[in-house]
């Protein structure tokens, strides 16, 4: 399963923040070499010309067709916009290991997908692509040809609720994300003069990550309030869940190296790393659960490396556990 030499990894869609973070992490991995970095806007350009912070790298960005990339890689990471990844996964599935960081294959029920997103062109594939949350589907990921990475809000919320799955009467979640979650394109919501000292919620009870959360927590949408909020910082998500339940949280995270159960969660303790910190505080009628992760690492590219490790039979922590939080 593991290639003889290093794993040839490619990133299709390198120019977004997810693609860039994928590259940052793969460069640390001792068992990986970069095959292709692709973008539709650039062909055969040194990466440092597009991203000066990477000008020390001897790597080029091309607009190579993804089928060619797939044929010459052991694993392909997709950093494409939502909807664009639908066809690419369909083209590559079964031919090369694929890890899709878009939202296109996160849901396995086409009706739910089409309620929250748009029409899906390959509905049959939804059930074949495995949901890439290693703390939930580790064994299935090991055998998967294609993996669909979770939403960043969604993964944190799921890890917070999983110890109560099946026992939740109701849950209210308030989750705050850094501006890097909005991607690399400037927009009103990431305009620095205001974002710099603002807090503002959006898509309350209408966010696309909701069906990922309810599926894992085994609740209906009626049992959840979800308040996504934008915060004045670059990296990180910090979430608070008020869980109404008669049950105690199951002690499930001992075998999972990147989940740390703490007395208190502080977002600065995880930034830059693949760790997700959780705390559970007993209350009348349930628990207050808090959690934090770096949206670009554990919430996206780091978890993708974790998935890659599982898919290739490597230690789950390879190339990740050496990266401590960048503190302060």
Footprint (CB under 8 A) of a second copy, residues 286-325: 288, 290, 292, 321-325
CA 23 – CA 12 distance, rounded (Å) = 11
Is 12 or 265 the residue whose CB approaches a second copy more closely? 265
Omega before 36 within 30 of 0, i.e. cis: no
Least distance from a second copy to the Cβ atom of residue 141, Å: 21
| Active site (annotated) includes residue 303 | no
Least distance from a second copy to the Cβ atom of residue 183, Å: 9
Residue numbers 165-204 binding a second copy by CB under 8 A: 170, 172, 174, 176, 178-180, 182, 184-188, 190-202, 204
From 30, 124, 255, 313, residue interacting with a second copy (rule: CB under 8 A): 30
Residue 231 as a binder of a second copy (CB under 8 A): the answer is yes
Least distance from a second copy to the Cβ atom of residue 262, Å: 6
Q: Is 96 helix (H, G, I), strand (E, B) or coil?
A: coil
CB 84 within 8 A of CB 38: no
String marking each residue 47-86 x if it binds a second copy according to CB under 8 A: ----xxxxxxx-----------------------------
CB 66 within 8 A of CB 90: no
Is 126 or 296 the residue whose CB approaches a second copy more closely? 296
To which H or E segment does residue 245 belong? strand 237-245
CA 326 – CA 328 distance, rounded (Å) = 6
Is 129 or 297 the residue whose CB approaches a second copy more closely? 297
String marking each residue 204-223 x if it binds a second copy according to CB under 8 A: xx----------------x-
Backbone phi, psi, residue 249, to 5°: -65, 135
Residue 119 DSSP class: -
CA 167 – CA 248 distance, rounded (Å) = 9
């Amino acid at each position: 399963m593991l290639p003889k030499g290093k794993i040839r990894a490619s990133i299709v869609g390198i120019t977004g923040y997810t693609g860039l973070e994928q590259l940052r992490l793969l460069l640390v991995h001792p068992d990986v070499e970069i095959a292709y970095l692709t973008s539709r806007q650039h062909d055969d350009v040194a990466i440092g010309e597009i991203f000066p912070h990477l000008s020390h790298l001897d790597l080029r960005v091309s607009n190579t067709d993804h089928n060619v990339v797939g044929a010459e890689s052991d694993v392909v990471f997709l950093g494409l916009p939502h909807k664009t990844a639908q066809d690419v996964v369909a083209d590559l599935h079964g031919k090369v290991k694929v890890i899709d960081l878009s939202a296109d294959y996160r849901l396995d029920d086409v009706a739910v997908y089409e309620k929250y997103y748009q029409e899906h062109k390959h509905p049959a594939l939804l059930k074949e692509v495995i949901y890439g949350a290693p703390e939930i589907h580790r064994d299935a990921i090991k055998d998967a040809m294609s993996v669909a990475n979770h939403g960043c809000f969604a993964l944190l919320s799921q890890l917070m609720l999983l110890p109560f799955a099946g026992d939740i009467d109701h849950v209210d979640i308030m989750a705050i994300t850094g501006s890097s979650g909005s991607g690399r394109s400037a927009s009103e919501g990431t305009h620095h003069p205001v974002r710099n000292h603002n807090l503002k919620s959006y898509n309350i009870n209408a966010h696309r990550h909701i069906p990922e959360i309810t599926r894992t927590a085994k609740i209906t949408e009626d049992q959840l309030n979800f308040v996504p909020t934008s915060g004045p910082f670059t990296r990180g998500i910090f979430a608070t869940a008020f869980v109404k339940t008669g049950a105690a949280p199951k002690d499930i995270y001992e075998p999972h190296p990147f989940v740390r159960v703490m007395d208190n969660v502080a977002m600065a303790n995880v930034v830059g790393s693949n760790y997700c910190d959780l705390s559970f505080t007993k209350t009348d009628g349930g628990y207050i659960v808090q959690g934090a992760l770096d949206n670009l690492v554990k919430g996206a590219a780091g978890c993708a490396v974790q998935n890659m490790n599982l898919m290739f039979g490597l230690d789950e922590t390879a190339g990740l556990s050496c990266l401590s939080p960048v503190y302060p």
